[in-house]
Amino acid sequence: MQEDCAAGGCSCSGSDQPSGSLKRLGWQEYFMSVAHLISRRATCTRAHIGAVIVRDNNILSTGYNGAPSGLPHCDETNCRIYRSTHPDGTVEENCVNTIHAEINAIAQAAKHGVSIKDADIYITASPCIHCLKVLINVGIKTIYYDKPYKLEHIDELVRLSGIRLVQVHGDEQ
């Protein structure tokens, strides 16, 4: 092989990337792309969200939104929506059957005995207020998200908690 390269028979350019290949993803883009890929497993008919918990550039746990393990998934007849009113008067709609991606990622880590304290999370959408409170309590330091979701409902908790909220755009798979 080295002889072929020396003779100009390969595309090695001395860099980490072969010539003509796509640009290598940075860590943030990589983990957000993984979150988008994971979101394709979601069983919620209203939104497909993926989450990846990471520490030191290593994936610790993943999750997507859907029904608890072994229970029926949402479909046109099984999606049970409940409405609640936020203090500012906006109406929030959630499904009784669905566990959010962030909570599923936390549950998977707990199930397998993986510590997520001082880790970061990548989510395809910013967390709802309930997930944010849990992320604060488990010790997540930075939340990376792609699409904003009702940021005005979480801005005060983000500020008070000191957790970092960073938007990172990722390619949907």
For the record, the structure tokens of 140 come out as 């997540």
Which residue pairs from 86-92 have beta carbons closer than 8 angstroms and sit at least 24 positions apart in sequence?
Answer: 86/153, 88/152, 88/153, 90/150, 90/153, 92/128, 92/150
Residues facing 66 on adjacent strands: 99
Residue 102 appears among annotated catalytic residues? yes
5 annotated as ligand-binding: no
Whether 27 and 75 have beta carbons less than 8 Å apart is answered as no
Choosing from 3, 76, 93, 102, the catalytic residue is 102
100 annotated as ligand-binding: yes
12 annotated as ligand-binding: no
- Tell me, letter by letter, the H, E, C secondary structure of 69-87: CCCCCCCCCCCCEEEEECC
Binding-site residues, please? Answer: 100, 128, 131
Binding-site residues for Zn(2+), please? Answer: 100, 128, 131
By annotation, the residues acting in catalysis are 102
